[in-house]
Homo-oligomer: A and B are copies of this chain.
Amino acid sequence: MATISDVAARAGVSIATVSRVLSGQPCTTPATRDKVLRSVAELNYHLNRSASNLRRNQTGVILILTPNMTNPYYASILTGIGDTATALGSAAFICNTRDDPNRSTAALERLRQHQADGAILLSIDADATWLADYASDFPLVQCSEFQPDSTITHVAIDNKAASHDVMAHLLELGHTRIAHLSADNTYPSTRDRLAGYQEALAQANIDPCPEYVVRGSADYSFASGKDATHTLLALPKPPTAIFCISDTLAMGAVVAAREAGFNIPADISITGFDDVAVNEMIQPQLTTLAQPCYELGVTSARALFALINHETTPLAHVLDHHLVVRQSSAKAPAGASEHSGGAR
């Protein structure tokens, strides 16, 4: 563990010179430069970041808080963040909080402790006002999830508009008995998607049916999507379309529908949300609302570095979504609807 003074001694210069050479300042003679670099190599010198960080009061590290590692939706975002941070010369360290507020706050406290320059949050599992206080002291970006009135820089799609797009597609296909497979969490995205669904129904003059809104588990598990769909299909008047707020839920819905003897999309249409890679594994190919996951990550990272460098960046970054129509959605079965009188 050679230190900078070891290097200086061996090269016959002062530590100031070594520091200047290593930080790439131009004011050094090629000769001294060489001497320094040679003794760095000979002594196998490496910077002590604790000392450097202490002196400079910054770390070159950003923290990413993710509620879990299993959701492929997060995987793309994380990759986008990591690539961007790497390109910008920082390290992106991912903390798996497991949706545990204690672990989230402990991770964020590391900003106060000078162990990171900023953080990106992929979920809201900390108290909102606490978080706001926090963001006023430190660079913070929220990705995907944020409170409607948030004063924290955030990056996401317009979930309500996206929900309208899904509904427009299903309505255009003649569906009127449309169910909404939501999730048992309080994420703003969940709320917005439900709101978009309800608004679209109202605009189409379709009476909302309370039984048509069901919820899978908080983490959108496949199994819970299957269960919820079975309840839906056991109704006296089952829906002819199910709008799922995640692809995993939709995959559960597909399996459940098959088990219940429904053909997809002839008897029932099913749509997903996110467009994650696992979709390819299922038949029929899923119609879904695609989020630009990787770009969400890239944009979040760029925004965070802007904050860190005291550059200006918008409070809200809204990225474009788009509907990907594949095989799991089709015209409503004839005679299924009491409103459209037999769509064809």
User: Is A115 positioned at the interface, with any CB of B under 8 Å from its CB?
Assistant: yes
| Contacting pair B82 A91 (CB below 8 A) | no
With A50-B50, A93-B94, A281-B281 known to touch, is A79 a contact of B69 (CB < 8 Å)?
yes
Q: How big is chain A's contact interface, by range?
A: 35 or more
Residues of A contacting B: mostly: helix
Q: Which residues of chain A in 176-224 are interfacial with respect to chain B, using CB atoms and an 8 Å cutoff?
A: 222-223
Query: Is B96 a contact of A49 with CB atoms below 8 Å?
Result: no
Which residue of the partner chain B has the closest CB to A278? Answer: B278
Check if B103 sits within 8 Å of A95, measured CB to CB. no
Contact B113 A48 (CB under 8 A): yes
Tell me whether A110 is interfacial, beta carbon within 8 Å: yes
How many protomers of this protein does the assembly include?
A: 2
When each residue 159-173 of chain A gets 1 if its CB lies under 8 Å from chain B and 0 otherwise, what string results? 000000000000000
Partner of A109, one of B46, B86, B95: B46
Q: Look across to chain B and name the residue whose beta carbon is closest to the beta carbon of A48.
A: B114
**Contact between chains at B50 and A59 (CB < 8 Å):** yes
**What residue of chain B has the Cβ atom nearest to residue A82's Cβ?**
B96
- Are the CB atoms of B48 and A222 closer together than 8 Å? no
- Alpha-carbon separation in the docked complex, A328 to B103 (Å): 40
A70 within 8 A of B: yes
Chain B residues within an 8 Å CB radius of A93? 63, 93-95
Q: Name A's B-contacting residues (CB within 8 A).
A: 46-51, 53-54, 57, 59, 61, 63, 68-70, 72, 74-76, 78-79, 82-83, 86, 91-96, 98, 103, 106-107, 109-110, 112-115, 222-223, 251-252, 255, 277-278, 280-283
**Known contacts A46-B112, A49-B113, A69-B69, then 4 further A-B pairs from the complex at CB < 8 Å, ordered by chain A residue:** A46-B109, A48-B54, A70-B76, A278-B278
